[in-house]
């Protein structure tokens, strides 16, 4: 059975918002609609080290993917924070390691490390974290980026390690993921590109004796008919078009240089791919991570998701609308996805 993820907005920051997410983890016809929600990281958002524990404390079943930047805190301290959070939540967290991203956002928090070095640093960061979780004896670490003495932690993750999720398209990102990712998060792409990316990561991971799972991020525009689905998609397109020049919707900056963004914009030169893969929002939002969409009836979209499943995708991060976010309107369809895939 596939896993279903979505995105939790940092705002509103209240119990009612958490309760809505919690309800989407209920059993629907024998299937849990939502397995985890991504709690993102940005230097301008509320800090997820505060609101992730808040969300867990106000829920019983809700699982979180907590985004984390290597470099914002020491790896031994990060290992202790996340293992504690994992224990008090009874194993309900995973970590999304975000090494790249906007240079402007990194600079806001004083990180001027060059991109290639950030991935090299991230590998060392995870080396320390994983050893802190696994080694019952005190250990020292003297590396290129971190020096630790007598690291020993009394609190260990529920299952020995906290699952590590990450993504990225550059050679450095793939090497990092091949070494440490339990689940490799892919941005939405047409089928051929997705197949190529999975095979590339699998080949790199094999050299380290590892076999990560894969997730795929997509927006869904559903309708009882194809025409109604396209009406919803075009409404989102028009709303984003009308907001051009404002900060209403998250978009990639023209100065953000990443292999993944360039790849997104390259395939977005053609609006429609495969059967119902729609790339218009990718171009409108400058290659923003979760703007690739599937448009159509539930049956048509299920067919496309099954094709991705056959390529090796074991989890889908699914959102809808003008912003990549979760809505309970997707619950029944997500439960169907869980049952059928």
Q: Is residue 247 part of a domain?
A: no
Per-position pLDDT tens, the chain of length 341: 899 999 886 555 677 778 878 887 766 555 667 899 999 888 888 899 998 999 999 888 889 999 999 989 999 999 999 999 999 999 999 999 998 667 888 888 888 888 889 999 999 999 999 999 999 999 999 999 999 999 999 999 999 999 999 998 889 999 999 999 999 999 999 999 999 999 999 999 999 999 999 999 999 999 999 999 999 999 999 999 998 877 766 665 555 667 777 888 888 899 999 999 999 999 998 877 689 999 999 999 999 999 999 999 999 999 998 887 888 889 889 989 988 99
Q: Is residue 10 part of a domain?
A: yes
CB 22 within 8 A of CB 336: no
Q: Is residue 81 part of a domain?
A: yes
Place of tokens 């991971």: 205
Q: How many separate domains does the chain show?
A: 1
CATH classification at residue 141:
3.20.20.30
Q: Is residue 101 part of a domain?
A: yes
Q: Which residues contact 285 (CB under 8 A, 6 or more apart)?
A: 240, 249, 250, 251, 252, 291
Q: Is the dihedral of CA 220, 224, 225, 229 positive or negative?
A: negative
Q: Is residue 282 part of a domain?
A: no
Residues paired with 260 in a beta bridge? none
CB 292 within 8 A of CB 273: no
First CA to last CA distance, the chain: 6
How far apart CA 23 and CA 14 sit, in angstroms, is 15
Nearest to 339 by CA among 9, 31, 27: 31
CB 164 within 8 A of CB 75: no
Give the per-residue pLDDT at 197. Answer: 95
Q: Which residues contact 115 (CB under 8 A, 6 or more apart)?
A: 100, 170, 172
Give the per-residue pLDDT at 169. Answer: 87
How far apart CA 148 and CA 141 sit, in angstroms, is 5
Give the per-residue pLDDT at 127. Answer: 97
Give the per-residue pLDDT at 84. Answer: 98
Q: Is residue 293 part of a domain?
A: no
Q: Which two tokens stand for residue 83?
A: 């293992």
Enclosing domain of residue 92: 3-217+318-340
How far apart CA 278 and CA 270 sit, in angstroms, is 9
Q: Is residue 167 part of a domain?
A: yes
Q: Is the dihedral of CA 310, 312, 313, 315 positive or negative?
A: positive
How far apart CA 103 and CA 107 sit, in angstroms, is 6
Q: Which residues of 282-294 are buried (b: 16+ CB within 10 A; e: fewer)?
A: bbbbbbbbbbbbb
């Amino acid at each position: 059975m596939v896993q279903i993820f979505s995105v939790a907005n940092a705002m509103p920051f209240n119990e009612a918002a958490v309760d809505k997410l919690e309800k989407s983890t209920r059993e629907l016809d024998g299937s849990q609609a939502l397995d985890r929600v991504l709690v993102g990281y940005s230097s301008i958002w509320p800090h997820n080290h505060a609101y992730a524990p808040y969300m867990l404390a106000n829920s019983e079943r809700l699982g979180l993917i907590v985004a984390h930047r290597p470099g914002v805190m020491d790896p031994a301290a990060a290992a202790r924070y996340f293992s504690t959070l994992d224990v008090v939540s009874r194993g309900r967290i995973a970590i999304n390691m975000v090494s790249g991203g906007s240079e402007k956002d990194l600079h806001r928090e004083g990180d001027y490390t060059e991109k290639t070095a950030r991935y090299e640093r991230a590998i060392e960061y995870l080396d320390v974290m994983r050893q802190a979780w696994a080694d019952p004896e005190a250990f020292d670490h003297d590396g290129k980026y971190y020096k630790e003495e007598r690291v020993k932690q009394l609190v260990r993750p529920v299952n020995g390690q906290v699952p590590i999720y990450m993504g990225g398209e550059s050679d450095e990102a793939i090497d990092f993921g091949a070494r440490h990712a339990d689940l490799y998060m892919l941005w939405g792409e047409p089928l051929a590109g997705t197949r190529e990316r999975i095979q590339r990561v699998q080949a790199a991971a094999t050299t380290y004796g590892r076999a990560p799972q894969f997730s795929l991020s997509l927006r869904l525009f559903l309708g009882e008919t194809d025409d109604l689905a396209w009406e919803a998609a075009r409404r989102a397109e028009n709303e984003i078009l009308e907001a051009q020049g404002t900060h209403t919707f998250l978009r990639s900056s023209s100065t953000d240089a990443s292999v993944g963004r360039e790849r997104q914009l390259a395939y977005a030169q053609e609006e429609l791919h495969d059967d119902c893969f729609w790339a218009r929002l990718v171009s409108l939002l400058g290659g923003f991570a979760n703007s690739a969409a599937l448009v159509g009836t539930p049956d048509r979209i299920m067919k496309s998701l099954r094709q991705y499943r056959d390529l090796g995708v074991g989890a889908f991060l699914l959102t809808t609308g003008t912003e990549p976010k979760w809505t309970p309107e997707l619950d029944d369809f997500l439960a169907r996805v869980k049952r059928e895939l």
